[in-house]
């Protein structure tokens, strides 16, 4: 019977040796709420910058005229910047950062770039070759999300192993890996621990 596992990672999967009688599972509590509501982000860069400039100015308790005088920016131009009507140059942003006492990057903190979505219909994944292919592992790529503002690259795979598949040797790679067992049974080795996985089981490292 074939064994299938859904694999979300930016490395490769491995089939492990038979499991011992005892398996140690370490559980750690979540340190953050993945469903927490994030701060409101602005999708228009000029508007995001303008809101930050206004917020920092008001925090210092100064008027638009005061900030204009401190930065040598015209009152009209500064008003347009705060209202998101114009895109300030880097020189202007540097002048504002010095006057407001914040780094230039602070003006971009509420800006959010548009993120792409990947939709793959059932059975339309892309068969690819990975390091485990020579061991009889079948890899079906279900999508790819490149590095975005979070700096994370994600590649989900549907991996199929059969009884004829060889044990893949231990290897290491950068990044994180998440496995979710769909069908069959397999033993996965991570470090010195062996994990016998059945449908519904998951492994993250």
Cα distance between residue 66 and residue 98, in whole Å: 14
pLDDT the model gives residue 115: 63
DSSP characters over 33-51: -TTPPPPP-BSSHHHHHHH
The backbone torsions φ and ψ at residue 106, rounded to the nearest 5 degrees and listed phi first, read: -65, -25
pLDDT the model gives residue 45: 85
Helix, strand, coil percentages, rounded to 5, for the chain: 25, 20, 55
Pick the more confident residue, 106 or 5: 106
Domain ranges for the chain, please list them: 3-27+115-204, 45-108
Pick the more confident residue, 102 or 136: 102
Q: Which segment of 112-116, 129-133, 165-169, 192-196 scores lowest on mean pLDDT?
A: 112-116
Q: What is the pLDDT of residues 54-84, one digit of tens each?
A: 999 999 999 999 999 999 999 999 999 999 9
pLDDT the model gives residue 57: 94
Across the chain, what does the average pLDDT equal? 77
Pick the more confident residue, 140 or 116: 140
pLDDT the model gives residue 56: 94
Q: What is the DSSP letter of 61?
A: T
Cα distance between residue 119 and residue 143, in whole Å: 7
Task: For the chain, state the CA radius of gyration.
Answer: 26
Reported pTM: 0.46
Beta strands in 57-185 (DSSP E): 126-128, 138-141, 155-161, 177-183
* Percentage of residues in the chain having pLDDT higher than 90: 33
Q: Which of 90-94, 169-173, 184-188 has the highest mean pLDDT?
A: 90-94
pLDDT at 97 over 50: yes
Q: Please state the rounded mean pLDDT for residues 36-55.
A: 74
Q: Please state the rounded mean pLDDT for residues 102-124.
A: 79
pLDDT the model gives residue 59: 93
pLDDT the model gives residue 67: 95
CATH 1.10.1040.10 fits 45-108, yes or no: no
């Amino acid at each position: 019977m074939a064994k299938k596992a859904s694999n979300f990672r930016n490395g490769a999967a491995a089939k492990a040796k038979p499991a011992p009688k005892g398996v140690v599972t370490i559980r750690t509590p979540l340190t953050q709420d993945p469903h927490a509501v994030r701060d409101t982000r602005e999708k228009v860069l000029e508007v995001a910058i303008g809101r930050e400039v206004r917020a920092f100015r008001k925090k210092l308790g100064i008027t638009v005229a005061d900030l204009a005088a401190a930065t040598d920016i015209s009152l009209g131009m500064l008003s347009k910047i705060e209202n998101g009507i114009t895109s300030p140059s880097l020189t202007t942003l540097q002048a504002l950062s010095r006057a407001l006492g914040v780094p230039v990057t602070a003006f971009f903190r509420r800006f959010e770039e548009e993120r792409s979505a990947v939709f793959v219909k059932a059975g339309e994944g892309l068969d690819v070759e990975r390091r485990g292919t020579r061991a009889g592992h079948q890899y079906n790529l279900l999508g790819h999300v490149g590095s975005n503002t979070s700096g994370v690259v994600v590649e989900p795979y549907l991996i199929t192993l059969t009884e004829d598949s060889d044990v893949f040797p231990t290897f290491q790679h950068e990044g994180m890996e998440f496995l979710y067992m769909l069908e069959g049974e397999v033993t996965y080795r991570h470090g010195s621990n062996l994990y016998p996985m059945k449908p519904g089981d998951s492994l993250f490292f």
